């Protein structure tokens, strides 16, 4: 038996992991604090997040977000704020975490405790055992999605992605990363994905660019970041060009990004800002530390041939980025019409199912 109640409350919605459904965190205690501390109502485990970073307070006329003197700042709809009224639909950035503010119904269900607790314990134990088997057996495979030059569809490189490759397990990469993240093993799993990808790429006889992703926990931990850069640098000696993809929402500290940029250059690693156009983008902040590549998010590219507004936006971006020596890469191209419009707008590179799905090399 269980009881089900619905209450209308303020909440933050966020995406726990790529490929996972959005998660709502109801605000039931005031002030509602956000920070790295376990005492915060919403804890974000990142060194770029202050112990108590920001708070939401409820007042008779609405909700107010206040920065609590954080080191790296709090952003609402792309603007750094100290104190601001929150409106439904506002997008708050705290370090790399995107939080969407809303007011609505949150379902509270109370199940029979004995059965629910037993089921949850069984799930946690099964997932932990599966993860340890994956890590100890190195049971992962690398897959690669081609990146092409739109002028002639020639392949200039690949984005490397990972897959679980253990018989009897059907975890998606998003599920595997969620499990690893919950158990503090996300960096280890990502290192394993990259190891397998680099080993395979070094076997290729032709030189290409290879685009790597980092888990947020690796960006925040110096030993993990150093290990990741060393992995990527392995392909340089074979004549390949490694490229580190950084999500544009992670670019909140210009000084830290500048330092990262210097380290990448020292290893002959190029930089790409990923998912530009998703949520609230901050072009001027991004070009303060210019990358070699800027990847347009799929939400900008999908059906761009049918949207004059998005065409106008990309058309305006092209000369600004070209002046900085930045190449634009359109992600999520699924149809030839999208590829052709992007090419006509001055976008040089493309990626998506139209050119090839992720697969082995």
Q: What are phi and psi of 169, to 5 degrees?
A: -110, 135
Domain at 207, CATH number: 3.20.20.450
Regarding whether 183 and 47 lie in a shared domain, the answer is no
DSSP string across 265-288 = HHTT-EEEEEEETSSS--HHHHTT
Regarding whether 337 and 259 lie in a shared domain, the answer is yes
For the chain, give the percent of residues with pLDDT over 70.
87
Mean pLDDT throughout 251-261?
Answer: 79
Q: Could you tell me the pLDDT band of residue 1, with boundaries at 50, 70 and 90?
A: very low
Domain that holds residue 75: 3-110
Answer whether residue 128 is part of any domain.
Answer: no
Answer whether residue 73 is part of any domain.
Answer: yes
Regarding whether 256 and 179 lie in a shared domain, the answer is yes
Alpha-carbon distance of 313 to 175, in angstroms, equals 34
Quick: pLDDT tens for 10-29: 999 887 655 556 778 888 88
In this predicted structure, the answer to whether residue 250 has a pLDDT above a threshold of 70 is no
Answer whether residue 264 is part of any domain.
Answer: yes
Say what the pLDDT of residue 284 is: 67
Regarding whether 27 and 171 lie in a shared domain, the answer is no
Alpha-carbon distance of 211 to 274, in angstroms, equals 11
Mean pLDDT throughout 223-229?
Answer: 91
Mean pLDDT throughout 265-275?
Answer: 92
Regarding whether 163 and 199 lie in a shared domain, the answer is yes
Q: Look up tokens 């977000």; give the residue.
A: 65
Regarding whether 94 and 177 lie in a shared domain, the answer is no
Q: Residue 353 is encoded by which pair of tokens?
A: 């199912």
Max mean pLDDT among 117-126, 164-173, 305-314 falls in 305-314
DSSP string across 288-320 = TS--SEEEEPHHHHTTGGG-HHHHHHHHHHHHH
Q: Residue 208 is encoded by which pair of tokens?
A: 């290409």
Give burial (CB, 10 Å; 0-12/13-18/19+) of 246. Answer: buried
Say what the pLDDT of residue 226 is: 92
Say what the pLDDT of residue 117 is: 45
- Greatest Cα-to-Cα distance within the chain, rounded to the nearest angstrom: 67
Mean pLDDT throughout 271-283?
Answer: 72
More confident residue, 6 or 340: 340
More confident residue, 9 or 18: 9
In the chain, DSSP finds a helix count (H) and a strand count (E) of: 10, 19
Q: Determine contact, residues 243/193, Cβ cutoff 8 Å.
A: no
Tell me if residue 163 falls in helix, strand or coil. strand
Regarding whether 105 and 149 lie in a shared domain, the answer is no
Say what the pLDDT of residue 20 is: 55
Question: Please, what is the average pLDDT of the chain?
Answer: 85
Q: Residue 286 is encoded by which pair of tokens?
A: 């991004």
In this predicted structure, the answer to whether residue 174 has a pLDDT above a threshold of 80 is yes
In this predicted structure, the answer to whether residue 267 has a pLDDT above a threshold of 90 is yes
**Which of 71, 94, 110 represents a domain boundary (last residue)?**
110
Answer whether residue 28 is part of any domain.
Answer: yes
Regarding whether 285 and 171 lie in a shared domain, the answer is yes
Say what the pLDDT of residue 348 is: 95
Say what the pLDDT of residue 190 is: 92
Regarding whether 333 and 224 lie in a shared domain, the answer is yes
Cis (ω within 30 of 0) for the bond into 270? no
More confident residue, 200 or 21: 200
Answer whether residue 334 is part of any domain.
Answer: yes
User: What does each C-alpha distance from 48 to 95, 216, 222 come to in angstroms?
Assistant: 6, 10, 12
Q: Determine contact, residues 288/271, Cβ cutoff 8 Å.
A: no
In this predicted structure, the answer to whether residue 30 has a pLDDT above a threshold of 50 is yes
**Which of 110, 129, 157 represents a domain boundary (last residue)?**
110
More confident residue, 356 or 13: 356
Quick: pLDDT tens for 32-66: 999 988 788 888 877 788 999 999 999 988 999 99
Alpha-carbon distance of 54 to 70, in angstroms, equals 7
Mean pLDDT throughout 207-229?
Answer: 88
Regarding whether 342 and 271 lie in a shared domain, the answer is yes
Q: Determine contact, residues 62/86, Cβ cutoff 8 Å.
A: yes
Answer whether residue 159 is part of any domain.
Answer: yes
In total, how many domains does the chain have?
2
DSSP string across 71-108 = SS-EEETTEEESEEE--TT-EEEETTEEEEEEEEEEEE
Answer whether residue 151 is part of any domain.
Answer: yes
Give the chain's length: 361
Quick: pLDDT tens for 102-155: 888 655 444 444 444 445 666 777 888 888 889 989 999 999 999 999 999 999
Q: Which stretch of DSSP H or E encloses residue 32?
A: strand 32-35
Answer whether residue 133 is part of any domain.
Answer: no
In this predicted structure, the answer to whether residue 349 has a pLDDT above a threshold of 90 is yes
Mean pLDDT throughout 283-306?
Answer: 86
């Amino acid at each position: 038996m269980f009881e089900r109640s619905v209450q209308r409350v303020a909440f933050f919605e966020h995406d726990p992991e790529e490929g996972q459904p959005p998660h709502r965190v109801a605000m039931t205690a005031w002030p509602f604090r956000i920070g790295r501390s376990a005492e915060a109502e919403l804890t974000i485990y990142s060194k770029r997040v202050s112990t108590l970073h920001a708070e939401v307070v409820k007042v008779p006329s609405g909700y107010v977000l206040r920065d609590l003197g954080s080191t790296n700042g709090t952003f609402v709809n792309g603007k750094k704020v100290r104190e601001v009224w929150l409106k439904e639909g506002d997008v708050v950035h705290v370090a790399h975490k995107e939080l969407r503010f809303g007011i609505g119904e949150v379902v509270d269900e109370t199940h029979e405790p004995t059965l629910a607790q037993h089921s949850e314990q069984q799930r946690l134990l099964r997932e932990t055992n599966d993860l340890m088997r994956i890590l100890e057996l190195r049971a992962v495979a690398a897959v690669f999605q081609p990146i092409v030059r739109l002028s002639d569809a020639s392949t200039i490189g690949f984005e490397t992605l990972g897959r679980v490759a253990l018989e009897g397990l059907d975890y998606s990469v998003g599920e595997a990363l969620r499990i690893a993240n919950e158990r503090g093993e996300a960096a280890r799993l990502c290192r394993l994905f990259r190891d397998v990808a680099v080993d395979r790429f070094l076997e290729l006889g032709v030189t290409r660019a290879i685009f790597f992703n980092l888990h947020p926990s690796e960006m925040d931990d110096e030993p993990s970041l150093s290990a990741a850069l060393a992995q990527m640098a392995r392909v340089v000696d074979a004549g390949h060009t490694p490229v580190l993809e950084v999500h544009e929402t992670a670019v909140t500290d210009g000084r830290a990004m500048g330092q990262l940029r210097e380290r990448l250059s020292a290893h002959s690693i190029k930089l790409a800002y990923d998912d530009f156009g998703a949520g609230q983008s901050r072009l001027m902040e991004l070009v303060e530390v210019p990358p070699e590549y800027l990847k347009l998010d799929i939400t900008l590219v999908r059906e761009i041939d049918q949207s004059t507004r998005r065409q106008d936006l990309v058309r305006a971006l092209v000369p600004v980025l070209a002046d900085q020596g930045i190449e634009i890469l359109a992600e999520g191209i699924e149809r030839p019409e999208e590829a052709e419009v992007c090419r006509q707008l001055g976008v040089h590179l493309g990626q998506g199912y139209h050119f090839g799905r992720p697969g082995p090399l």
